[in-house]
Structure 1
Amino acid sequence: LSARRLDANHIYSVPHNSFSGLSSLRHLWLDDNSLTEVPVQGLSSLSSLQAMTLALNKITRIPDDAFANLSSLVVLDLNYNNLDEFPTAIKALINLKELFFYDNPIQFVGKSAFQHLPELRTLSLNGATEITEFPDLTGTKSLESLDLSYNLIQDLPTFNGCERLQKIDLHHNEIQEIQTSTFQHLTALRSLDLSSNLLSSLPVTGLHGLTHLKLAGNADLQELLSAENFPKLRVMEMPYAFQCCAFVSCENHNKLSNPWDKDENRSTDHFVKKDSGILLSQELLDFEEDPKALHSVQCTPAPGPFRPCDHLFGSWLIRTGVWIIVVLSLVCNGLVAVTVFVSPTYISPAKHLIGLLAVVNSLMGFSSGVLAVVDTLTFGSFAKYGAWWESGIGCRITGFMSVFSSETCIFLLTTAALERGLSIKCAKRLESKSTKNNVKIVSAFCFILALAITVLPLLHVGEYGISSLCLPLPFGEPSSLGFMVALVLLNSLCYFVMTVTYTRLYCNLEKGELDNFWDCSMIKHVAWLLFANCILYFPVAFLSFSSLLNLSFISPEVIKSILLVIVPLPACLNPLLYMLFNPHFKEDLGILLKQTLLLKKSKQSSLVSLNSEDAEKQSCDSTQALVTFTSSENLGDGPESKSVSSASQIIEACHSQSVASVPCH
């Protein structure tokens, strides 16, 4: 008998001499039982045993002499137990080649733990969760695969004496810095996984032979890697898509997967678990044997329209359209806000809402302007700054302003539609209309509700930095998709309420009756706003629902153009409708211009009167000085007294004349 399977039998102890007479036993499975310690006496007669599995037990302690008679053991599996310290009994296994300690609460590994294991090729201490120091690998000259993932390791040593290492897994640790000499002597290294650490830089010394490199989950690692330093690289996972630009050819840029597909949204854990516990994946060997693979690099996340390599906007058509929207929205909304709030005319509740709408739309224009400026400053080299922009606070603020403006605009439009409907209803019944204070209260509630919704992505319900456009998009984490779907449903409900309100309003009016109402122009204006905004919102809602239904027939370039042009378009269209078709704007603007001209004229007249007064004072002062000079020369002369008296009369006349010319205030 060469193999014995005793797994999943609820065994809690192995009696003495249980395997007596099985001297030729090579493989023993004791996994998935209830053992609390290694059965030393029961295994003492298995001198030929080469592979033993003790995984999925409750082993908390391994005696020092547990493996004294198992010198032929090559593979030892102790995964999923309760060991809190690395057993010193391992030293007796001088022929051990594969050692697995996955998911054990090991806190410390002694410096001499591996010194007597010269044949060890695979070492797996992943999931120990308590190891904070890197174990001493002195003596493991044959080590080829090392897995220390899911621990608390912060620093890495120099891998001297481990020249045969081909695969290192250190993902999900707390490594902050790697020295230049850490991988310097690992000439055989082919696979390196440093995902989900705290790295901000990666030294490339000794990594020229890598074929697999995983760095995803290191948010502070924003530097671009050069393809010249990794000539053999075939598979790589990076924190940001922009770091793949140097490794992906221009032809592949146009063949990238749709970012709305779920394949791009797989988490880093999926890739990490795929290779866990394997010496060398078959993919690695395939890449070395397949000559076609030598000309391509599989890099994730892949760059694309939402994470571009060269230009943020991608085309001059989008770039020109965005700049036009930015200029019109800022200028036109500014004019509307000034004419509404600065004009001395009466501000009705509807006009108050139009003014608030202009202020909110200007925020949308400003956020689009920020994107346009970023596109200009990074023109042709967006990959250099993409990671900095996508993860920075500027992107979050831009996305915050865009979503806040969009949601507040919809809520204010809903309020305006309801207010117009209520005003018509009250006018027909000769009842008192809604006061301006009530509208102010509802408007404040609209701002608070929009603010609460906009803050959610900052609390990781959705995400602003999921793309370089800084908008929460329906791909990535499930929370992002849920946030977008909830947002679209809420906005659709608002548009439905507006449509029903205005449909009932027009249906209840007789022909020509609308023109008889006071401020009928505002009723028509809100109707135009409702129609225009509803038409422009339809593509956005369609895209969101299509992503929910996995409909990927729309190209990413079209989606990007809709988000950059169609979404902010109401910000410049709303004020233009008010300026071109509402008589209130022309009246308020005319009054403001007249006030401005009157103020200029009054200032000019004041300056003229003040200047004339100063001239008269100067003339009188010179006359007085002349009289004084004359009197000092002819002191005591009779004719002089006459001249003094005549000069005094002139001075009095000057003073009386200057007082009379001062304007009254």
Structure 2
Amino acid sequence: MRRLPLSPPPLLLLLLCFPSGALLAEPEQPRKSGCPTPCQCEEDGVLVRLDCSDLGLAAIPENLSLFTSYLDLSMNNITELPQNGLFNLHFLEELRLAGNDLTHIPTGAFAGLYNLKVLRLDANHISVVPPNCFNGLVSLRHLWLDDNALADIPVKALSSLPCLQAMTLALNRIPHIPDYAFGNLSSLVVLHLHNNRIRSLGKKCFDGLHSLETLGFHSNNIESIPEHAFVGNPSLLTIHFYDNPIQFVGKSAFQHLPELRILSLNGATEITEFPELTGTLSLESLTLTGARIVSLPSTVCKQLPNLQVLDLSYNWIKVLPSFSACQKLQKLDLHHNKINEIQHDTFRQLTALRSLDLGWNNIEFIHQESFLSSSSLTKL
């Protein structure tokens, strides 16, 4: 009897039906729901973080996960935000739209985002912020509106952000800060307004900023600082006013700021008198260069007992008072003035002084005991 040939095993037949290596390739993983192509998504528990930055997008992607907590759309070509386009993203905490081509913000663009804490709109072309565009952002803490085309402080829009802690409006075209511009921002700690076109300040423009600690005003066209300018800002730690053509500083402008640590007014070419600093006892660093100050009050150290750095270079100072009460002073810059003599008590008992610059003056007399007690001095 002739024996029948054995049939090949079923597995062998299956392998013969596919090209070589086809069964070895891993199957393509389907994209997760709520992660639009070509964004990068990262799960954070039940929440999702989406990075859609620098992809050349012309619009906000559709079908975003309802559990999105972070959405980065910066550095794209988005020109318009849809009304209520993000309404369902109730878990969204950070939204980045910097570096796009936005020119305006439609009302309702951020509706429903009641958990949003960080909003970046910087580096766009926004010229107008509608009064109601931030309504409902009850949790917002940080707002970037710098590097846009704003010509006014969006007073009404900002009034709906009572929890805001940090904001920058720098690098815009703002010419004036009106009274009560930030009246409802009692939680604001940091405010940047530098590199605008600001020429004038309302007498009560900072009223309501009870928590403000850092104020950046440098590189503007401010000509005067009104009396009592910061009377409602007792928490101020740092003020930067440098690179402004300041001609007038109200004598009371910087009085009674008990927490102020740093004050910078360099480049204030028209100031002729040393500012009155009564009640500003915590000041540690004062820079007032490039002005026309001709003398210092004899009480300067009594007013500023915690002063560590004092820069009065490029002024017209002729006669120095005694700095002996400035026991914490470590650095003193007086170069490029018109000082003609150093008395025996000018720097007496300044045991903490490490650096003293008296270059480019008209000094004709230095008392032989001028530096006897300056035991820490390493640079003269």
Higher relative contact order (CA 8 A, sep 6+): 1
* Equivalent in the alignment of 2:52: 30
Q: 1:235 aligns with which of 262, 267, 284?
A: 262
Q: 1:204 aligns with which of 215, 230, 242?
A: 230
Q: Is the 8 A contact 1:30 1:53 kept in 2?
A: yes
Q: CA offsets per residue over residues 21-76 of structure 1, 9 Å max, x none?
A: 999343222222211211123x1xx1121122111222222222431221111111
* Equivalent in the alignment of 2:306: 295
TM-aligned CA deviation for residue 240 of structure 1: 4.1
State the TM-score, normalizing by the size of structure 2.
0.61
- The one-letter code matched in structure 2 to 1:146 is M
- The one-letter code matched in structure 2 to 1:238 is L
Q: CA offsets per residue over residues 363-402 of structure 1, 9 Å max, x none?
A: xxxxxxxxxxxxxxxxx8xxxxxxxxxxxxxxxxxxxxxx
Residue 150 to residue 558, structure 1, CA distance change in 2 (3 Å): closer
TM-aligned CA deviation for residue 150 of structure 1: 0.8
Residues in 1 aligned to 2:215 and 2:237: alpha-carbon distance in whole angstroms: 9
RMSD of equivalent CA atoms: 3.9
Residues in 1 aligned to 2:167 and 2:137: alpha-carbon distance in whole angstroms: 14
Residue 40 to residue 180, structure 1, CA distance change in 2 (3 Å): same
Residue 195 to residue 244, structure 1, CA distance change in 2 (3 Å): farther
Residue 209 to residue 23, structure 1, CA distance change in 2 (3 Å): closer
Q: Is the 8 A contact 1:234 1:294 kept in 2?
A: no
Residues in 2 aligned to 1:256 and 1:296: alpha-carbon distance in whole angstroms: 8
Residues in 2 aligned to 1:238 and 1:256: alpha-carbon distance in whole angstroms: 8
- Are residues 1:307 and 2:315 paired? yes
- The one-letter code matched in structure 1 to 2:49 is H
- Are residues 1:61 and 2:85 paired? no
Within-5 A mapping of 1:475-624: 556-561=357-362
* Equivalent in the alignment of 1:145: 166
Q: CA offsets per residue over residues 410-435 of structure 1, 9 Å max, x none?
A: xxxxxxxxxxxxxxxxxxxxxxxxxx
Greater share of strand residues, 1 or 2? 2
Q: Is the 8 A contact 1:236 1:298 kept in 2?
A: no
Residue 156 to residue 59, structure 1, CA distance change in 2 (3 Å): same
Q: Is the 8 A contact 1:245 1:303 kept in 2?
A: no
- The one-letter code matched in structure 2 to 1:180 is K
Q: Is the 8 A contact 1:232 1:294 kept in 2?
A: no
Residues in 2 aligned to 1:20 and 1:123: alpha-carbon distance in whole angstroms: 24
TM-aligned CA deviation for residue 92 of structure 1: 2.6
Q: Is the 8 A contact 2:256 2:277 kept in 1?
A: no
Q: Is the 8 A contact 1:168 1:191 kept in 2?
A: yes
- The one-letter code matched in structure 1 to 2:131 is K
Residues in 2 aligned to 1:238 and 1:78: alpha-carbon distance in whole angstroms: 34
Unaligned runs of 5+ in 1: 1-12, 249-254, 258-263, 266-292, 316-379, 381-465, 470-553, 565-665
Residue 51 to residue 163, structure 1, CA distance change in 2 (3 Å): same
- Are residues 1:51 and 2:51 paired? no
Residue 134 to residue 256, structure 1, CA distance change in 2 (3 Å): closer
Q: 1:169 aligns with which of 172, 188, 192?
A: 192
**Partner SS, residue 128 of structure 2:** coil
- Are residues 1:126 and 2:146 paired? yes
Residue 84 to residue 558, structure 1, CA distance change in 2 (3 Å): closer
Q: Is the 8 A contact 1:234 1:297 kept in 2?
A: no
**Partner SS, residue 116 of structure 2:** coil
TM-aligned CA deviation for residue 103 of structure 1: 0.8
Residues in 2 aligned to 1:76 and 1:194: alpha-carbon distance in whole angstroms: 27
Greater share of helix residues, 1 or 2? 1
* Equivalent in the alignment of 1:217: 243
Residues in 2 aligned to 1:20 and 1:194: alpha-carbon distance in whole angstroms: 39
Q: 2:118 aligns with which of 98, 104, 109?
A: 98
* Equivalent in the alignment of 1:346: none
Residues in 1 aligned to 2:243 and 2:286: alpha-carbon distance in whole angstroms: 21
Q: CA offsets per residue over residues 546-591 of structure 1, 9 Å max, x none?
A: xxxxxxxx984353238x9xxxxxxxxxxxxxxxxxxxxxxxxxxx
Residues in 1 aligned to 2:99 and 2:305: alpha-carbon distance in whole angstroms: 39
- The one-letter code matched in structure 2 to 1:295 is N
Residue 561 to residue 32, structure 1, CA distance change in 2 (3 Å): same
**Partner SS, residue 559 of structure 1:** coil
TM-aligned CA deviation for residue 87 of structure 1: 4.3
Residues in 2 aligned to 1:178 and 1:217: alpha-carbon distance in whole angstroms: 16
Residues in 2 aligned to 1:165 and 1:21: alpha-carbon distance in whole angstroms: 32
Residue 104 to residue 239, structure 1, CA distance change in 2 (3 Å): same
- The one-letter code matched in structure 2 to 1:139 is S
Residue 225 to residue 97, structure 1, CA distance change in 2 (3 Å): farther
TM-aligned CA deviation for residue 160 of structure 1: 2.5
Residues in 2 aligned to 1:231 and 1:204: alpha-carbon distance in whole angstroms: 11
- The one-letter code matched in structure 2 to 1:36 is A
Residues in 2 aligned to 1:111 and 1:76: alpha-carbon distance in whole angstroms: 20
Residues in 2 aligned to 1:16 and 1:96: alpha-carbon distance in whole angstroms: 24
- The one-letter code matched in structure 2 to 1:30 is C
Residues in 2 aligned to 1:208 and 1:230: alpha-carbon distance in whole angstroms: 5
TM-aligned CA deviation for residue 112 of structure 1: 0.6
Q: Is the 8 A contact 1:222 1:240 kept in 2?
A: no
TM-aligned CA deviation for residue 126 of structure 1: 0.4
Q: Is the 8 A contact 2:84 2:110 kept in 1?
A: no
Q: Is the 8 A contact 1:247 1:297 kept in 2?
A: no
**Partner SS, residue 110 of structure 2:** helix
* Equivalent in the alignment of 2:216: 193
- The one-letter code matched in structure 2 to 1:56 is M
- The one-letter code matched in structure 2 to 1:77 is R
Residue 18 to residue 239, structure 1, CA distance change in 2 (3 Å): closer
Q: Is the 8 A contact 2:264 2:286 kept in 1?
A: no
Residue 17 to residue 103, structure 1, CA distance change in 2 (3 Å): closer
Residue 561 to residue 138, structure 1, CA distance change in 2 (3 Å): closer
Residue 230 to residue 244, structure 1, CA distance change in 2 (3 Å): farther
- The one-letter code matched in structure 1 to 2:94 is V
* Equivalent in the alignment of 1:112: 132
Residues in 2 aligned to 1:126 and 1:85: alpha-carbon distance in whole angstroms: 14
State the TM-score, normalizing by the size of structure 1.
0.36
